Structure formats: structure tokens, C-alpha cells
């Protein structure tokens, strides 16, 4: 599985100004929680966070956001009463490493204690996969000269919050050798229980101190020169969401079990789970180490944040890296992350989609709120499916006033994106259970929503989707947005197919559902609308699809000229008076995105024409944009352009080149949609994998540098290893497959038999 | 006809900072031109202008605007070589008077020439009514001590322009005792010819000097003490628009005739024409001199600017007071000025409406430009009917950038306003010739436009008018604006009635028209839409009509609080990020306006509820707002509130309390719509005059102060004098009437026989 270089992310210098960035870069996650890549001595000022999935809290009029649990890894080292911290001490050597193969975070710092004494601090930590409530840490220190060492370690409840404080009723507890910090959330009184157990290879004097926000052990030892002292910490987190009667007791028990099992055994178990994951998900690239690391790193993030344990939560736009964007789930999940899971880990894909089924009521409430019928999914979805997005999402830098934006009320494509995701899952896996478990209801309610949202233009004898914001958010409230209208059409098609499928295969379910949601009269509406819905078409001469009605009349200006007009570096390009609003400059792929999603419906000439037309007009103000241009570039045979965009997508969290702050608001964190985009660009783009009906197509268009690409995919329950090089493609069917499958490889159709290779 | 006080507008102090304001306040006009109330020694710095109706010019990329003719009244007086000017000399006494009864402007200034010499300058001027190309001036001076007087008088071609210079190829000419300055417009090479003749009651030495922009006589005389010297000037203006072969020759001839006829004779003739006009149009108020003057002054303006000579032009929003608002015709004319003319001078009303017939092609071009069919009238209409309004009409004060506004593309109610005007004219006069001369075609094309603009909501089985800006321009691009939708419905009703009328009375015309504009298939569309068009209705409980869909959800804020949020005194309340945009604060009457226009369709409770709801939320950012609230206030029996708004409307050009500048842009001028509003508030509001079918209703609700109101009206070709007091109403039918007419006076229906009184 490749050499070590492509499995390690490393920083060999401590730079204080990178603490926020590195918190995201060295993030660990296990789907239940994300732990930021901060150092043990850090506190909330350095944005330490143990971010919990799917548990939200609202304080006063502030935004509702996910909570960060008290930090059980908190550890500070004092030598002869002087704090040894990279923040305040002289750092002689420093290394921070993320071993993405095994999900292990390591740090090693050599700190000057005095003129003749150096202290080495080493730590390792990982998040449990077998027990997702668990965090394990090994913490060692060594002094060059003898000195008195005091270790402060425990649970720090003074956590970083954007719109907090979320934790109240903080109570410290001691139970034999275990300590705990239990608290409740502000809005719903959800119990958050954190326990910690330690084990040491040395004997030290121990005190425990508590204050209103923390419980800390103080361990003192007289360290001998050159001797390494090691401490193991086992931290467990439980909340009332976890289906346990007594979260604090569950946390205690989890710590006790970990203590008994021991660090090495838990780590070994963890590694084997990571190994299984990588076997399913890894993509090997020959000939390009930089791309290899970036792509693996992207996959690492997707694996780290995917909820394996629940279908009540989905992946937030900033993963589990903090509270940014309210920990909300956006269309990012369905359109940019889901394909990776569908092709490599369909169970997780199913969880993500079941989250939408489970939040259907919220979507119904939102439709009603705006006077529509059916399901209008939240633009920013949290636990209930109600929309966390506000009507004023951006601050006008010139007046300091909140600016009315239309993400919440006009980005109706979200409902179509959900349907698209469900249907892609069904097509790829063949699994109809998702449809039966609520997926069909979601599809029909979304179709109903679009019917009630649409208007009929009698003059032109067509339905139109008016007054929407497409992916290009710089142009709000437009009519006939190509992306939205195409996605709505697809939703209607899928609704009709779903009904046919149910009617044929599950007539009882069909009747029950039709009755339950009173859909009988709707069917004619949906069919009529599907036939007569206007979707912008390629221009007969130029092949260009107009992004929305009137786009062609907007000002033609280069991105360079537009940027020269900027008066304030933080000014928003969209909104009522935005710089881009009256021009053709777009935020992100919009038309090009539908070319990608509906490859079979557009000719190569149209794809080429639109890529070339829209690419210079795209500002890429969203991290979702590059991967789309990458995929379409390889589709039209321009893999070098595609490579540029692939690298932009794949390195976004490595390079940290994205925006970290807007004004004083932290918006940094990881970019799972870009991570998913990197996988899509590599596998669906360069390797050219696609699937329609019963045939898997592979049409590689590798970048020049790449000798070959190898990966596994799973379709219709059948698994395959694929290796695609410059000269040929090798596909091997798993021995455990249950049927032979047709492949179209670069135009040649072949059958791949169970356990065989083509 | 009342005492002199109520016929004279007077300033008895010269205040330099009021020169711009007084230019509008003392404006004279004769429908062909407007001459600003500036003094003879003023030049373009003081905004001297002889503004011509209906002749436009465009220089470079600047706005197209009407032109100002060279100033033929220019006169400067030097005594012993010192300029006698109110601007630079010590002014001992000063008086500027506008005699609105006779349309005469007078000034008298006593200026200190030296320690022991005072110079008195007196002038009088008027614009010809029999010969609308003529301006006559009598200019006198008198010195206390003997001195050498030099009069510079002639034609000053260095005119004030907002987006000029418009006049090129300026050529001075001398023909016997006449001088002339001829020029051409920049865009279309239209000849503008100005000639001047003088007559003097003294003998002076005369030189004529010309430079590239003017031709000036220099007359020198040694003035004896206490002797008044008088000069008469006759200035004539002709353009190629005036149907003459040789404008400069026509101007010469006009001057010669005037010279022969003499100042006094021409003035006498003029006075008798003014007398006739006042007989038709005056409104006498007993008991309130302030209101009397303000109302007469408003009527004076309407009479001054109405085109009696042409149906190719209509009244611009700032009358003939300059180039402000591009000299464009707005909905102001049909909705705020037309009623005055319909009731008192239907021939002028017909001219104004024929202008819309004559610009139908421009309206068709505009509809096509935006992808619609039919006639979409210009928001800012000039000679061709093409829209002079830009997409960027306001500058953002915070960034200095042009702001995208939607006056041009979304204020679709303009087409309905035109139809409303035509139909009101037809109903009031019974004159079907306007319909036959193109009015019917306008109506049908406007109805067609609205059909093509509308969308059908299948979910709610109704047509909707989406994405429009109503009169309340602070809320752009709204759906189902109450005003717009109601006016569209009316347009459809009128279109159907028009077709029925033609079919019945003029079957040949009907067939020709249907064929000419291919309207046969449209008829069903129009009828269907009329039946199913959604027009916001009064709420069942509150009676409130929602101004547009979603208005109720906007922020509830008082005007006071909103104004406290202002950061820049010139900031625009509307537009993308405007302060009012996201609140319930409206610019001007919107819902209340339809209650006024369709009095019979709404109950008194609904009128009251909406007046009381919208009044505190209205900012009155438009001069069109107050009169609407005034009328509706008297309708709901609250004449004192109505009086407040009436006075605001009627005194707008007297008090000069409206905005004069936005940034460096002059936006001052007269407000003919407010003038028309003052007449409406008095006659249609307080006197309660209305007309439906065959019956004239009079329901007076006079303000407390008013003892009575008296006026003449003309309906269906029948003329009546009305006198309404606190205790009764007297109506006298003219002897020249051709039929008896029914009146409903305060609920009692009576017939008023020819020549009789009730």
C-alpha cells in the first residue's frame, strides 16, 4: 500500500500563526467526534475542540451550533515549576505528524527548560473505532537533567465556542481512579459526560483539583535524566443521544474497559479497522507522490467523519473540525461526498441518506412556512431538519449591516439534490430498501414541492422554475437557472420511476404510500410538469447553455477587472449590490455541474463549449467548484487543465489556502466536499468510471504525470479492483461477487466473471 | 375671482441661496416651453433655462435629455461701468412676483451703484399663448443720479445643461434690427432658432457683439436722474419640430409681428386667454387663503405646462422646469395630472393620451427587448417612446458605485396606468374618437403584454403577476403587488369592454384592428386571465390588503427607528441593500392608491383599515404620496388628516421643501404630479366628486377651516359650476349643455337640467 511518504502528513517546525490551520490539518475523527489537531497544552484560545456529531445547542439569540465536549486530553507539563509549552517556551525541535494510514496523531517537541536542561515531550493519540466514545493518548516526557516535573492533566471544560457557552451545570466527579466532568447543554438539557482514566509507567504524587469548569490531576515526579516517563490517558464521551440510560456511568465503564485492555491492544485493534477501510477505499496513483498524498489525505478525512454508528446525522460542511457553518449539513453531502461512499462504502451512503428521510418533517415544515406543499429541505440542516440558515447571512462590510441573502428561501435545488442522492444510491447499489424505508416518500414530497413551486407560462406553454438561486450564489433570485431546472426535471423523472417501481414490485407499499401522503391527484401534475418543464438548452450555434434567463445580458468583464474594482478585501461579491451580481462572473460551477451529472444527455461539443465559456468566468469562490471543472476537463480530453483543478481540490486542507476568517468570524476547518471532489476527480474523472443500467464504463484520461491509478469499487453489491494505466485497464472481480458484470472499457464491452480478471 | 393675495406669489428679499429654488418657484410656461424664474442678469450658473418640450438630445454616453434653448432674455446693466446685479451688488430693495392670474413674472430691484446713486431695475415678462413661440419682456431702469448706462442684452447661447453641451454649430445672425442665434442639436442635427427684436422708449448708441456662443447688443445711454428708461424685448423660438420649413425665418417673422403688435396688445391678448383658462379651471376656497393660493398656484403650473399645440409630447415629471429626470414622461401624467385635465380641459387630456398612442411603437420595442409581446411602455418616456430609464439609476453612497435598480424592467404597471388614463378619459368625456385613433390598439397591446408577462400558478389555479416593482419603489421585484395586479385586472376588463364597444359600434374598425394586430387568439387568453388573475384581497378579519406576497413577514419598524439607522443622509432606502427593503416601511401610497382609484370596489371599513395601517408605515419619499393619503382621508371622513396631506402636496413648489440635490446632481424643479394631486385632493377628495356611468356624485367632506369650495367641471361634454359648502351643494348646468344629467349629492339623486341649478 505505497511507501510511508504518502501516508504521513508532517510539520517539522512550530509556527504559532499556524495553530488554527493545523487544528484542521491534523484533525482526527471517527464519525462520532472530531478532535482538532491541537497540542496537549493548548486551550480554547488555540481552538482546541472535541466536536460532537449531531448534537446542537442554541444560546439566547445566537446561531444554533454543534457543541464541543470538554477536552479530556488537556495536559500541561511543568519542569521545576516552569511551564513547558510551545507557545511560551523556546522550542528546539518540533514535529507534528498525522499518520493517516492508522489515524494516529503524533507530536514530539524538544523544549529548552533552562540553560542546561532540555525537555522532550512526545505524544500519540487516536480515536476509537471499535468504541467510538473513546480517545486514547500516550504522553511521554524526558528531561536532559534531573528536575521536578509536574503534570497537569485532566478534563478542561472551558471549551472553545463560537456562539456559546453551551455547557452549563458543569460538575466534576471522582470515582476511584477515574475523574469525570459532566454538564448539560443550554437549550435541551442534554447530558454530556466526559470521563478520564490514566495509567502511568512511573509513580508520582497525585492531587486532583476541580474548579467550576474543569477537573485536573496534578502529578508530581522527580524526573531522572534521560529517562522517558509515560502516561496513558483514556477519555470517554457519552451523551443522552447515545441511547444509554446513564451517560456518565457509560463513560466511566468505557474508561475502565479501555484501562483494562490497554493502549497497545486498542491501537492494534484500531489499526486493523483502518486497514479494512483502506482496502475498500484507497486509490493508488503511480508516478505522482504529491497527488498520491493529497488524494489519500482527502480520503482519510472522508473516512474520519463518516457516521458509521447512526443514520440520524449526516456530514456537516466543515466535517467535524468545529462549529463553523453551524455544524450544518448542506447539499455538499449529497452532491460532493456521497459518490465516494456509494462506490466504496454503501452502508455509510445509506446512513447519510437515511438522515434525509429522518428529517423529512423538517423539510415539510419549511415548505409550509414559505407557502408551498411537499418537502423543501433545509439549506443548513441540523438534527431536526429545520433550517438553521438565516435570512441575513452576510455582513455588508461598507455599512456593517446584516445583508439580506436568499440562501435559505431560494436555493430550492437542495430538495432535488437529496432526490438525486437517493436515486444514485439506488442505481449504484440496487438496494431498494432505502426507498421502502422512507426514500420514496422523500422523492415524492420533493416532486410535490417543485410542482407547487413552479409556474406555468401559458404564453410559452411551459412550466418554469422562477426566482431561485443556483449553485452560483453570486446571482440570487434568477429565473430558469439551468442547474436548478435540470435537477427539478430529474426529480420529476425519478418520482415517476419510483412510483412505477413501487407499483410493480410492492403494490401494497405503493397503495399505502399514495394514501398516506394523498398523492393520487398529484401524479398527473408531476407527469404534466415533467413533459413541459423548461430546462435551458444548449444554443443551436454556440452550444452554450445560458446559466439563467438574462445571464447573456449581464456585463462581460474579466475576473481581473472585477477584482480591480474591489474596495474592501472582505466585501461579498453577491447579494443586492455585489460586484459580481450584475456581471457574468460566477461563484462556482453551475452549468458545468449539470454537464457532469448528466453526462449522457449532452454531446462532447456542448461540454467543451460550456467548459471553455464558463471556466474563465468562474471565480471559484466556493471549494466545491474546482473538482467539477477537473472532472469535466478530463471528460473533454483536457486532463492537464483537469489536473490543475484536481490538485486545488485535493490539497485544500493540506495547504490551508482557503479563507480562515471573515472579519472576526472563524470560518476555517476542513472541506469534506472538496475531499469528496478529489476522489470524484480521480476515479470518476481521470479514471472515467461511470455506471448506467447494467454496464460499468471505464474511460481513463490520466494526467501526463500519472502512470496508473488503482482502486476498488463496489456496484450492485459486486466488488472490483480496477487498475488503469496509460496502456490498458485491468479489472478484477471479487471472488465473493454473486454475478458477472459487463464492462465498457474504452469503448469495448466485456463481461467480467466472478473472481476473474479482464 | 378672489382678491389679489391669492393670485400672487412673491419674494421680497433677495437670497442668493434660493436662486435654484426660485427658478422653479417663479417658473413660467406655455406648454411649448418653460422659462425658469431667474433674473435677467443671471447665466447658466444660476440655472437659467428656457426648456423646450419634447425635443431631446444625447451627447456621448450621457443621458438623453431635453434641451434648453439659448436665453433670449439675457440682460445685464452697467452703470458707470459697474455691473448692477443682485449677485454682486448691494441690494437695497428687491421683489420678485409671479402673477399667476395672468402668467406674468415681475421683478424690481433697487441696487446701490455708488455712495450716492441707486439704480432701480424693473422687469416684466410673459410667454405667448396665442403665439407659443414668443417671449415678451419689458425691462426698465432708473438712476437716482445721472450716470452712463450700458445695457448688454441679446441671446446667450451658453446654456445650462446637465448632460450637455447639446447645441453645436452656433451661428449668430443679424437681420436689420433683429438678431438671432441658430444652432443644431448634437444627436439629430435639429435646428434650434432663436431671434430677438427690441424696442426702446429712448435713444441709445448700439453695438452688436458676437462670440462663439452668443450675440449681444450693447446699448449705451446717459441716464438722467429719476427718469425711467424702458426696453421691450420680443424673443421667438422655433425648431424643426414645429412644422416650419425654415425655423430661423419663422423666428424672425414672429419677432417682427410681435414688434408691430407691441407689448401691451400682446399682453392684453394673453390675459384674456389666461382668463378663459381660469374660468374653466379655477377652484375657489372660502375661508383659507393659504390653501387658496397654494391650490391656485398648483393649477397655474398645470396650465403652464400642458401642451395645447401638440399630441406628440406629454408632460414631463418635472414639468418644463429643466432637464431633471431627463425631461421624461412618467406614470405621473396619467395617474396624477390627467384627472385635472379630463375634468376641466378634455382637449389637453386627449393630447396627453395621444402621446401614448404616438409612442406605441416604442412600447412594443421595449416589450420585445425583454422577451414579451404587446406594449410595455417606457418608465421614462421621451419623444420616441423608447425607455430613457437606465438599469443603474442610483449611486450607492457607500461605494460610489452605480446601483442596479429595477424601475425600467419591473415597474410594469406603467402600461396599465396608460390604459387607465385612456379609459378614464373615455368614461368622463364619452369621446370614442381617442379609441378609434389608436387608443383601442394601445389598450389591447397592453393587455397582451400583461398576458405574456403573467404566470399561471397551477397549484392555486390562478394567474399571478410576479417579479414587479409597484409604486412603493423601496420594495423591488416583489410578487403579486396589490397595485400592479389590480391595475392589470382593470386593463384586462378595459380590453374586453373595448372590444365589445368596437364590435358593437364600429364592426369594421373592430375587424381591421383584430386583423392588424392578430388579436383573434388573444381574446380567450385575456378573458381567461381576467377571470383567474390573483389580486390581493382584504384580509377577512383585519381588512388589510397585503401590499405584496411576503410583505407581512418583513420587519416591523417605525419610521423613526429606521431613520435612526441612516448612516449617510443621501443613502437610498431601496435597492438591494436599502434600509427600507427588508422592512415594512414603504416609499409611497401603494395599496391606498388602489382604494382611491377603485373606490366602489372596497368598503369603507377596508379603506379605513388600510389607510390607518399603511399611513404610519409610509415614508412619503415621493411627492406622489401625500395627495393619495389626502384623498383617502377625506373619503374615510378624516378631513383634518387629509388637510395636512393636501397642504403638503399643494405647497411643494411654493415652500421648496423637496430635495434639490442628490450628491452633485440637481434634481430640483417643479412637481406637476403633486400639483395635479392638489387639485384631485380638493375636488375629488374634499368636494367628493366622482363619476360612474351616468351619474355625477358629490359628497363634500370639507376641512374645518373651509367654508366652501367652488369649481367648474366638464363631464360627457356637459359643463357645471359646483359650489359646495358646509350646509349644502349648489350645481349649475351650463346653458350650452346638450342634455340633462343626474347628480347624486350626498346620497340624494337629482337631475340637473340644461341651464338650471340644483
CB of A374 within 8 Å of a chain B CB? The answer is no
- Is A390 in CB contact (< 8 Å) with chain B? no
Partnered with residue B191 across adjacent β-strands are B184
pLDDT tier, B1 (very low <50, low <70, confident <90, very high otherwise): very low
- Residue A1: predicted pLDDT: 43
Residues B272 and B286 occupy one common structural domain: no
Average pLDDT over residues A25-38: 97
- What was the pLDDT predicted at A658? 73
Q: Does B459 contact A373 at a Cβ distance shorter than 8 Å?
A: yes
Asked if the structure places residue A175 within a domain, the reply is yes
Q: Residues A455-493: pLDDT tens digits? A: 999 999 999 999 999 999 999 999 999 999 999 999 999
Torsion-angle region of A656 (φ positive above 0: left; ψ -120 to 50: alpha; else: beta):
left
Q: Is the pLDDT of residue B2 over 70?
A: no
Do residues A115 and A223 both lie within one domain?
A: yes
A582 in B contact zone (CB under 8 Å): yes
Min CA distance, B657 vs chain A (Å)? 28
Chain B residue numbers with beta carbons less than 8 Å from the beta carbon of A464 are 455
Q: Which residues of B touch A474 (CB under 8 A)?
A: none
Percent of chain B exceeding pLDDT 90 equals 90
The size of the A-B interface in CB pairs under 8 A is 73
Torsion, CA A680, CA A684, CA A686, CA A687, rounded to 10:
130
Residue A707: give its domain's CATH number. 2.60.420.10
The Cα–Cα gap between B104 and B4 comes to 13
A25 and A54 part of one domain: yes
B99/B216 same-domain check:
yes
Q: What is the nearest CA distance from B61 to chain A, expressed in angstroms?
A: 16
B211 within some domain: yes
Is the CB of A308 inside 8 Å of chain B's CB atoms? no
Chain B residues with CB inside 8 Å of A371's CB?
Answer: 549
One-letter-per-residue 3-state SS of A21-46: HHHHHCCEECCCEEECCCCCCCCHHH
Chain B residues whose CB is inside 8 A of the A390 CB are none
Q: What are phi and psi of B538, to 5 degrees?
A: -60, 135
CB B135 within 8 A of CB B116: no
Taking an 8 Å cut-off on Cβ atoms, the answer to whether A577 and B464 are in contact is no
pLDDT per residue as tens digits for the range A20-30: 899 999 999 99
Query: Last residue of a domain, which of B279, B313, B347?
Result: B279
Q: How far is A482 from chain B (nearest CA, A)?
A: 18
- What percentage of chain A reaches a pLDDT higher than 90? 90
Residue of B nearest to A582 (CA): B404
Pairwise CA distance, residues A576 & B396, whole Å: 11
Cell of B586: 414603504
**What is the structure's pLDDT at B4?**
61
Are A317 and A193 found together in one domain? no
Longest dimension (CA), chain A: 90
- Whether the CB of B553 is below 8 Å from some CB of chain A: the reply is no
Chain B residues closer than 8 Å to A467 by CB: 466-467, 479
Smallest Cβ–Cβ distance between A577 and the set B459, B477, B576 belongs to B576
In a domain, A696, yes or no: yes
CA nearest to A713, candidates A725, A736, A696, A738: A696
- Determine the pLDDT at residue A621: 85
In tens, the pLDDT along A119-170 reads 999 999 999 999 999 999 999 999 999 999 999 999 999 999 999 899 999 9
pLDDT confidence band for B659 (50 / 70 / 90) = confident
With an 8 Å Cβ cutoff, are A455 and B451 in contact? no
Name which of A456, A477, A567 is nearest B455 (Cβ-Cβ): A456
Flag whether B130 is in a domain.
Answer: yes
Q: Using the beta-carbon criterion (under 8 Å), do B575 and A576 form an inter-chain contact?
A: yes
Is A454's CB within 8 Å of B456's CB?
A: no
B455 touches chain A (CB under 8 A): yes
Rounded-to-10 torsion of CA A10, A12, A17, A19:
50
- Does residue B100 contact residue B194 with C-beta atoms inside 8 Å? no
Judge whether B390 lies within some domain: no
Chain A environment of B457 (Cβ under 8 Å)? 455-456
> Nearest residue on chain A to B553, judged by CA atoms?
A370
Query: Which residues from chain B sit within 8 angstroms of residue A399, using beta carbons?
Result: 398, 567, 577
B571 to chain A: closest CA residue: A399
Contact B567 A399 (CB under 8 A): yes
Over residues B491-524, the pLDDT tens digits come to 999 999 999 999 999 999 999 999 999 999 999 9
Query: Can A15 be counted among the known catalytic residues?
Result: no
DSSP B391: S
Please tell me if residue B478 touches chain A, with a CB cutoff of 8 Å. no
Q: Do A456 and B458 touch (CB under 8 A)?
A: yes
Asked if the bond preceding B330 is cis, omega within 30° of 0, the reply is: no
Q: Out of B451, B457, B575, whose CB is closest to A459?
A: B451
User: Which residues in chain A touch residue B452, judged by CB atoms under 8 angstroms apart?
Assistant: 459
Task: Give pLDDT, residue A393.
Answer: 87
Say if B186 falls within a structural domain. yes
pTM over 0.90: yes
Of residues B448 and A663, the one with the higher pLDDT is: B448
Verify that A203 and A320 share a domain, yes or no: no
Chain A hits for B464, CB-CB cut-off 8 Å, are: 455
User: Does B456 reside within a domain?
Assistant: no
A451·B459 Cβ contact <8 A: yes
Please identify, among B279, B299, B314, the residue that sits at the C-terminal boundary of a domain. B279
For residues A438-451, give the mean pLDDT. Answer: 98
Any B CB within 8 A of A403 CB = yes
Same domain, A87 and A141: yes
Which of helix, strand or coil describes residue B538? Answer: strand
B239 and B324, same domain (yes or no): no
User: Which of A232, A256, A279 is where one domain is finished?
Assistant: A279
Q: Given pLDDT bands bounded at 50, 70 and 90, which one contains residue B151? A: very high
The helix (run of H) or strand (run of E) holding residue B147 is strand B147-156
How far B457 CA sits from the closest chain A CA (Å)?
A: 5
| pLDDT of res. A94 | 96
- Pick from B456, B567, B576: CB nearest A458: B456
Which of B393, B398, B406, B536 to mutate to probe the A interface, most A CBs <10 Å?
A: B398
Same domain, A29 and A126: yes
If DSSP codes are grouped into helix, strand and coil, which group holds residue B240? Answer: helix
A456:B459 CB<8 A: no
Nearest to B404 among A401, A467, A582 (CB): A582
Task: State yes or no: pLDDT of A296 exceeds 90.
Answer: yes
Is a pLDDT exceeding 80 seen at residue A663? no
Residue A522 sits at the chain B interface (C-beta within 8 Å): no
Looking at every residue in chain B, the average pLDDT score rounds to 94
Banded pLDDT at B5 (limits 50, 70, 90): low
Q: Which of A473, A476, A619, A635 is catalytic?
A: A473
Task: Tell me the per-residue pLDDT of A64-112, one tens digit each, with 9 for 90 and over.
Answer: 999 999 999 999 999 999 999 999 999 999 999 999 999 999 999 999 9
- Cis upstream peptide for A459 (omega within 30°): no
What is the set of active-site residues of B?
473
Residues counted in chain B: 758
B457/A456 Cβ within 8 A: yes
Q: What is the CATH number of the domain that holds B82?
A: 2.70.98.40
Looking at the structure, do residues B657 and B695 belong to the same domain, yes or no?
A: yes
- Residue B491 lies inside a defined structural domain of this protein: no
pLDDT of A572 over the 60 cut: yes
Say if residue B297 is in the same domain as residue B223.
no
How much is the pLDDT for B3? 59
Find the radius of gyration of the CA atoms of chain A.
27
pLDDT, tens digit, 9 for 90 and up, residues B516-540: 999 999 999 999 999 999 999 999 9
Which residues does residue A118 pair with via DSSP β-bridges, in sequence order? A112
CB distance A577–B577 less than 8 Å? yes
- Let me know: does A585 contact A613? Beta carbons within 8 Å: no
Q: Which range of residues forms the domain containing residue B316?
A: 282-332+651-758
Closest-CA residue of A relative to B400 is A567
Q: Which helix (H) or strand (E) holds A609?
A: helix A604-614
Chain A residues with CB inside 8 Å of B575's CB? 576-577
Q: Which residue of B has its CA nearest to A577?
A: B576
Instruction: Quote the cell numbers at residue A158.
Output: 472551558
- In B, minimum Cα distance to A578 occurs at B576
**Cross-chain Cβ contact B581/A404 below 8 Å:** yes
Domain shared by A225 and A307, yes or no:
no
Task: Categorize the per-residue pLDDT at A3 as very low, low, confident or very high, splitting at 50, 70 and 90.
Answer: low
How many domains, in total, are found in chain B?
2
Amino acid at each position: 500500500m505505497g511507501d510511508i511518504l504518502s501516508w504521513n502528513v508532517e510539520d517539522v517546525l512550530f509556527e504559532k500563526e499556524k495553530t488554527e490551520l493545523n487544528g484542521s490539518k491534523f484533525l482526527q475523527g471517527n464519525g462520532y467526534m472530531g478532535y482538532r489537531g491541537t497540542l496537549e497544552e493548548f486551550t480554547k484560545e488555540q481552538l482546541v475542540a472535541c466536536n460532537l456529531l449531531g448534537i446542537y445547542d442554541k444560546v439566547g439569540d445566537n446561531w444554533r451550533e454543534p457543541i464541543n465536549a470538554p477536552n479530556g486530553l488537556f495536559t500541561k507539563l511543568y519542569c521545576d515549576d516552569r511551564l513547558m509549552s510551545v507557545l511560551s517556551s523556546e522550542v528546539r525541535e518540533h514535529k507534528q505528524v498525522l499518520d493517516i494510514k492508522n489515524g494516529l496523531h503524533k507530536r514530539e517537541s524538544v523544549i529548552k527548560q533552562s540553560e542546561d536542561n532540555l525537555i522532550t515531550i512526545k505524544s500519540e493519540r487516536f480515536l476509537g473505532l471499535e468504541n467510538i466514545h473513546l480517545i486514547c493518548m500516550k504522553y511521554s516526557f524526558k528531561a536532559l537533567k534531573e528536575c521536578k516535573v509536574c503534570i497537569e492533566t485532566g478534563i478542561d471544560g472551558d471549551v472553545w465556542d463560537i456562539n456559546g457557552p453551551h455547557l452549563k451545570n458543569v460538575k466534576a466527579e471522582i470515582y476511584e481512579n477515574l475523574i469525570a466532568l459532566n454538564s448539560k447543554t443550554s437549550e435541551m438539557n442534554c447530558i454530556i459526560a466526559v470521563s478520564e482514566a490514566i495509567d502511568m509507567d512511573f509513580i508520582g504524587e497525585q492531587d486532583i483539583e476541580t474548579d467550576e469548569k474543569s477537573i485536573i490531576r496534578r502529578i508530581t515526579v522527580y524526573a531522572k535524566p534521560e529517562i522517558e516517563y509515560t502516561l496513558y490517558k483514556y477519555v470517554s464521551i457519552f451523551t443522552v443521544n447515545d441511547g444509554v440510560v446513564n451517560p456518565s456511568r457509560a463513560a466511566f465503564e468505557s474508561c475502565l474497559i479501555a484501562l483494562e485492555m490497554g493502549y497497545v491492544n486498542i491501537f492494534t485493534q484500531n489499526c486493523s479497522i483502518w486497514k479494512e477501510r483502506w482496502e475498500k477505499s484507497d486509490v493508488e496513483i503511480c508516478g505522482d507522490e504529491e497527488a498520491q498524498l493529497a488524494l489519500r489525505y482527502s480520503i482519510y478525512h472522508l473516512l474520519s467523519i463518516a457516521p458509521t454508528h447512526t443514520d440520524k446525522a449526516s456530514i456537516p460542511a466543515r466535517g467535524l473540525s468545529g462549529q463553523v457553518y453551524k455544524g450544518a449539513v448542506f447539499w455538499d453531502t449529497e452532491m460532493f461526498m456521497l459518490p465516494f461512499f456509494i462506490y466504496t462504502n454503501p452502508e455509510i451512503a445509506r446512513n447519510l441518506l437515511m438522515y434525509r428521510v429522518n428529517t423529512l418533517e423538517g423539510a415539510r415544515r419549511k415548505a409550509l412556512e414559505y407557502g408551498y406543499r411537499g418537502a423543501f429541505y433545509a439549506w443548513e440542516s441540523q438534527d431536526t431538519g429545520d433550517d438553521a440558515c438565516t435570512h441575513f447571512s452576510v455582513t455588508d462590510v461598507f455599512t456593517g449591516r446584516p445583508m439580506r441573502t436568499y440562501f435559505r428561501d431560494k436555493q430550492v435545488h437542495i430538495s432535488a439534490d437529496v432526490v438525486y442522492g437517493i436515486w444514485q444510491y439506488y442505481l449504484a447499489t440496487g438496494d431498494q430498501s432505502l426507498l421502502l424505508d422512507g426514500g420514496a416518500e422523500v422523492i415524492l414530497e420533493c416532486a410535490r414541492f417543485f410542482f407547487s413551486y413552479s409556474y406555468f407560462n401559458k404564453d410559452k406553454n411551459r412550466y418554469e422554475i422562477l426566482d431561485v438561486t443556483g449553485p452560483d450564489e453570486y446571482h440570487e433570485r434568477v429565473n430558469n437557472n439551468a442547474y436548478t431546472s435540470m435537477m427539478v426535471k430529474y426529480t420529476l423523472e425519478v418520482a415517476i420511476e419510483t412510483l412505477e417501481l413501487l407499483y410493480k414490485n410492492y403494490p401494497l407499499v405503493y397503495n399505502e404510500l399514495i394514501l398516506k401522503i394523498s398523492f393520487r391527484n398529484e401524479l398527473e401534475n408531476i407527469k404534466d410538469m415533467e413533459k413541459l418543464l423548461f430546462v435551458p438548452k444548449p444554443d443551436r450555434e454556440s452550444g452554450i447553455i445560458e446559466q439563467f434567463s438574462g445571464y447573456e445580458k449581464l456585463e462581460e468583464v474579466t475576473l481581473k477587472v472585477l477584482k480591480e474594482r474591489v474596495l474592501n478585501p472582505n466585501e461579498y461579491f453577491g447579494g443586492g449590490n455585489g460586484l459580481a451580481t450584475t456581471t457574468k462572473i460566477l461563484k462556482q460551477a453551475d452549468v458545468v455541474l449539470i454537464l457532469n451529472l448528466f453526462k449522457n444527455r449532452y454531446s462532447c461539443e456542448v461540454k467543451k463549449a460550456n467548459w471553455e465559456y464558463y471556466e474563465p468566468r468562474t471565480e471559484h469562490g466556493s471549494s466545491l467548484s474546482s473538482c467539477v471543472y477537473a472532472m469535466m476537463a478530463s471528460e473533454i480530453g483536457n486532463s492537464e487543465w483537469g489536473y490543475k483543478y484536481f490538485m486545488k481540490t485535493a490539497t485544500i486542507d493540506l495547504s490551508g489556502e482557503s479563507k480562515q476568517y471573515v472579519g472576526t468570524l472563524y470560518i476555517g476547518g476542513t472541506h469534506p466536499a472538496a475531499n469528496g471532489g478529489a476522489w470524484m476527480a480521480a476515479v470518476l474523472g481521470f479514471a472515467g468510471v461511470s455506471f448506467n443500467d447494467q454496464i460499468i464504463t471505464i474511460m481513463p484520461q490520466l494526467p501526463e504525470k500519472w502512470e496508473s491509478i488503482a482502486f476498488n469499487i463496489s456496484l450492485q453489491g459486486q466488488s472490483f479492483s480496477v487498475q488503469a494505466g496509460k496502456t490498458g485497464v485491468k479489472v478484477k472481480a471479487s471472488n465473493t461477487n454473486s454475478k458477472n458484470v459487463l464492462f465498457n472499457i474504452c469503448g469495448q464491452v466485456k463481461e467480467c466473471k466472478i473472481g476473474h480478471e479482464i
